[in-house]
Amino acid sequence: MSGTTMVVLIVLISVGSGVIYDMYKKHLEFKSRTLKDSKEANEHVAAVTRELVELKERVQTLEAIVTDSSYSVKQEINKL
């Protein structure tokens, strides 16, 4: 093997390993960003779910008030 061939091989191996290392770093950054986005999405879904439960409870309370017989009597008295 001549000296020129060895130099070319060394350069190719160095450049190739540098490219592979950069690709691996980008992959890890992408994976980290994806996990972060996933956690934020899960937190948002949990917040929306809590709000939905609270709103359902409020609607049930309002339905109980409106369907109460004394509520309609109060409205009729207020009309007079």
Q: What's the whole-model pTM score?
A: 0.50
The whole-number pLDDT of residue 71 equals 65
Using a 10 angstrom Cβ sphere, with 0-12 exposed, 13-18 middle and 19 or more buried, the burial of residue 38 is: exposed
The whole-number pLDDT of residue 67 equals 79
* pLDDT tens, per residue, the chain with 80 residues: 788 999 999 999 999 999 999 999 999 999 988 888 888 888 899 999 999 999 999 999 888 877 777 766 677 777 76
